[in-house]
Structure 1
Amino acid sequence: MTTAPEHLLIVDDDAEIRQLLGDYLRANGYRVTAAADGKGMRAAIAAGMPDLIVLDVMLPGEDGISLCRAVRARSEVPIIMLTARGDDIDRIVGLEVGADDYVPKPFIPRELLARVKSVLRRANSLPPNLRRDETRWFKFAGWSLDAMTRNLTATDGVVVPLSSTEFKLLRVLLEHPGRVLTRDQLIELMLSRDAGPFDRALDVQVSRLRQRLGDDAKDPAIIKTVRGQGYVLAAAVERQA
């Protein structure tokens, strides 16, 4: 049986880049759809969710950061952001709103192809004991997380807002309670990619998540640091489908 080619959506307002990448990726076995802006991207997604989105940060109208956030609110489809070389802020913000990887411009198509293959491979090949389950509700330490709406609710009913990265981090920890996860494992489970130069920010995200949960930074009871290894969710977790 012939396997259908994986479907990539390229969103870039530069027609030459769309054409170049489209031709190159098709020649390497992918089905490619292209869009010039957010409106075109939404129309393409409405016709069928792709297997991966290549999304430029600088777009006319709604920018790539906003579009990434909107997509991530409804889907875990892998997203690779195209950013200006040296623009660390765009890269960091992109990762925080849910991008899986980034490629700085200018780049050669072969570099993007390597990133596409890597992100798709990691998204599809996590070991069974680390794959995402279908649990919707997680209850722990007086808190409740709705994995569908991404709402974190306290016992008094107050909803605490989470960034995309904070949600992903918390969900990964809740899916593996009592298990020490290394930084590399957390990053791979959260972002489906290898550790990179900005992954030192993981410690910052853990600190922010502890603040959201009211977890004492000096003596945390929910998310504990295991020195030299990583982090572990120490609270008991109740799951509901």
Structure 2
Amino acid sequence: MFKDGESRRAEVTALVVEDQETQPVRTWLAQTEGLELLRTRSFERARRLAGSVRQLDFMVVPSDDQTIGLIFFTKLRHPDCRVVVVDSMTDEESVVEALEAGADDVVRADVSRREFSARLRLPREGIDAAEAGTILARLQLTPIEYAIAARLMQTPGRVVTRDALSQVTDSTTWTYGDRKFDVHVAKIRRKLEQEFGDRYVIRTIRSIGYVLSDGPVQG
């Protein structure tokens, strides 16, 4: 186990703010090879750690009054850091608030190790501009499908909200209950599967948005 601030050479650096909600996740991460695990029970200490390390690949935090501020700070310091919020409630309002603050995902406190591993997808892979261009060219998409797919490929593995997609496609604000993307996303999924098999998968985050995973989810 690693204590606050303890370091060693590793391929990936993770920061966990510990409490009852994040304890199982911390245990799983401590068993991961090639990972430097920074742990603290203090949000203030977490902010100092995030500000002092040169590399932070992902952070796991519980849902708390101080969570949003820590997410903002961490994303400013480490824009590519993947932030996962563990929430015992995961009600829609708290999920949206965390995602809008910059969190990449919100999971239940009782999340299974299998689901968490699939969501985290460590190490994270990316889709560069050349690869995205090749994918889009091969799919023969309609203009609106192209706009949606291109936006998802900008941030693979991260949630793209329905509102963000609405701004891209028709410059309007998405309203709850509007299912205007469902048909288009379903068609993009079919075209991706026909052309690439399970290499690229679009997951739906209910009432929130979509995530493009650049690779099959492993159990």
State the TM-score bracket (shorter-chain normalisation). 0.5 to 0.7
> What residue identity is the alignment partner of 1:66?
G
Alignment length (residue pairs) = 156
Could you tell me which of 103, 106, 111 is aligned with 2:110?
106
For the Cα contact (< 8 Å) 1:55–1:81, is it kept in 2? yes
What SS class does the counterpart of residue 115 from structure 2 fall into? Answer: helix
How far has the Cα of 1:90 moved from its partner? Answer: 1.2
From the superposition, tell whether residues 75 and 4 of structure 1 become closer, same or farther in structure 2 (CA, over 3 Å).
closer
For the Cα contact (< 8 Å) 2:16–2:22, is it kept in 1? no
1:117-147 superposed Cα distances (whole Å, 9 cap, x missing partner): 26x42xx42134268xxxxxxxxxxxxxxxx
- 1:173-212 paired onto structure 2 within 5 Å: 181-190=146-155, 192-193=156-157, 199-206=161-168, 210=171
1:91 aligns with 2:91: no
Alpha-carbon distance between aligned partners in 1 of 2:18 and 2:163, rounded to the nearest angstrom = 28
For the Cα contact (< 8 Å) 2:15–2:38, is it kept in 1? yes
> What residue identity is the alignment partner of 1:56?
P
Alpha-carbon distance between aligned partners in 1 of 2:158 and 2:52, rounded to the nearest angstrom = 31
How far has the Cα of 1:181 moved from its partner? Answer: 4.3
Alpha-carbon distance between aligned partners in 1 of 2:71 and 2:167, rounded to the nearest angstrom = 19
What SS class does the counterpart of residue 126 from structure 1 fall into? Answer: coil
Alpha-carbon distance between aligned partners in 2 of 1:35 and 1:184, rounded to the nearest angstrom = 38
Name 1:38's counterpart in structure 2.
43
From the superposition, tell whether residues 130 and 56 of structure 1 become closer, same or farther in structure 2 (CA, over 3 Å).
farther
1:67 aligns with 2:70: yes
> Normalising to structure 1: TM-score of the pair?
0.52
Alpha-carbon distance between aligned partners in 2 of 1:55 and 1:130, rounded to the nearest angstrom = 32
What SS class does the counterpart of residue 30 from structure 2 fall into? Answer: helix
Alpha-carbon distance between aligned partners in 2 of 1:51 and 1:37, rounded to the nearest angstrom = 19
What SS class does the counterpart of residue 193 from structure 1 fall into? Answer: coil
Alpha-carbon distance between aligned partners in 2 of 1:71 and 1:22, rounded to the nearest angstrom = 19
From the superposition, tell whether residues 42 and 73 of structure 1 become closer, same or farther in structure 2 (CA, over 3 Å).
same
Alpha-carbon distance between aligned partners in 2 of 1:23 and 1:181, rounded to the nearest angstrom = 41
For the Cα contact (< 8 Å) 2:22–2:86, is it kept in 1? no
Name 2:52's counterpart in structure 1.
47
1:175-233 superposed Cα distances (whole Å, 9 cap, x missing partner): xxxxx84424413424x3266xx8433344448x958xxxxxxxxxxxxxxxx59xxxx
Alpha-carbon distance between aligned partners in 1 of 2:82 and 2:92, rounded to the nearest angstrom = 20
Kindly report the root-mean-square deviation, in angstroms, between the aligned alpha carbons of the 2 structures: 3.6
Alpha-carbon distance between aligned partners in 1 of 2:66 and 2:149, rounded to the nearest angstrom = 30
For the Cα contact (< 8 Å) 1:101–1:193, is it kept in 2? no
Q: Structure 1: state its 5+ residue gaps.
A: 132-179, 212-227, 230-241
> What residue identity is the alignment partner of 2:163?
A
Name 1:13's counterpart in structure 2.
19
Percentage of matched positions with identical amino acids: 19
Name 2:10's counterpart in structure 1.
4
Q: Structure 2: state its 5+ residue gaps.
A: 1-8, 133-144, 173-183, 186-219
From the superposition, tell whether residues 184 and 88 of structure 1 become closer, same or farther in structure 2 (CA, over 3 Å).
farther
